[in-house]
Amino acid sequence: MASSSMQPGTTENKPILTPVRTLEGHQSWKYSLQDSDEFSHISCISYFPDGKQMISRSRDKTIRRWDLREGKEIEEAREVCGNGIDAVGGRWVVSAGYTLGLKVSEVETGIVRTFYIGSIRYIDISTDSALVAGGSYDGTARIWSLDTGKLVAGPFKTGDGPITSVRLSEDSRKLAVSSNWRQNLQVWDVQAQKLLVRKSTPTKPWSELPVFWTTKDKSIVAASSFTDDFMVTTIYEFDASTLEIVGAPFEHTDDIRSLALSSDCVLLAISSAYTIGLWAFEFRQLLASFDVSGFPRTLVFSPASRQLAYTTLGDAKIYICNIPANILASIELKEPQPNVCIPHIHPSFIC
């Protein structure tokens, strides 16, 4: 593990991350009929495991599926829905939301089932696509079987306000939960339904960014701030057993807006206003900092970790970019890392 972090400096001429594919179709929307202002952004994107399709959701109240080889929407698969989030795993597309509850669609048959009626703020599908975890505004998390629709664990009562992220470990034996009161990160034993460890500070909210398991479930990656500054500018790796900080942090220069870890745990993407940074995760090395148009809102790596997709506040497009060849070459020259991260891509919280 690296003993020191690289902090990106300010550069006048940063390279530009040029999209090789731009997906367009989502529309502008209003918070209410009385509003005169229109908004344009996509709240959730998720790759299918084979990397050939993607699903997206916007407050234009549609879920859209995209053929990434053709760069076009699969219009017959479009769904009308309320506000919410989506995740894709193996056979399933899972949707959740404020009042939507938890709905599961089987990709091959299109059969839709409702598992749970209630508010869900964040969802995560297990590595083997057998389970789905959901976190709610009331501070509880639950786990359901995707095959039967039955509740198999929970509720896990965090006691610390709305949940901002849930993540099942690679072996599905543990559940990481973050909430935005008292900057709280917890790890639960799924079978025993017992809180194993927690980390919190009493003064400020935890970042509303995803958390990730890495290295055979030995550590967790999360964004946080342990200073008086309410901006979140640092990513930490925490020991999963103690939640003590492991190695050097990833120090960013601005408030972090989104975060993604590649499926092989080699690349970490961090975004702030008009910027996306790519890091070599294990070596804590900033590989490149790219200028982008707008404020990146969501980031996801493709399942093969060769592309990065993102959306921004202010438009309703999905931008898909190739990871530059020189970056791929630089990380492939290093000692290869096992594929220990969850292979499918997960959604962000509902907004």
Looking at residue 107, which CATH number applies to its domain? Answer: 2.130.10.10
Residue 69 lies in domain: 21-332
Predicted confidence (pLDDT) per residue in 63-94, tens digit = 899 999 999 999 998 888 765 666 777 688 88
Work out the number of other CB atoms within 10 angstroms of the CB of residue 256: 22
Predicted confidence (pLDDT) per residue in 281-327, tens digit = 999 999 999 998 888 989 999 999 999 999 998 889 999 999 999 99
Tell me, yes or no, whether 347 lies in a domain.
no
Tell me, yes or no, whether 58 lies in a domain.
yes
Whether cis (ω within 30° of 0) applies to the bond prior to 155 is yes
Q: Rounded mean pLDDT of 137-153?
A: 93
Tell me, yes or no, whether 148 lies in a domain.
yes
Task: In whole angstroms, give the CA distance from residue 126 to residue 167.
Answer: 8
Q: Quote the DSSP letter at residue 223.
A: E
pTM of the shown model: 0.86
pLDDT of residue 80: 81
Tell me, yes or no, whether 10 lies in a domain.
no
Going by pLDDT thresholds of 50, 70 and 90, the confidence category of residue 33 is low
The number of folded domains in the chain is 1
Predicted confidence (pLDDT) per residue in 170-181, tens digit = 999 999 999 876
Tell me, yes or no, whether 84 lies in a domain.
yes
| Residue 32: partners with Cβ closer than 8 Å, 6 or more residues away | none
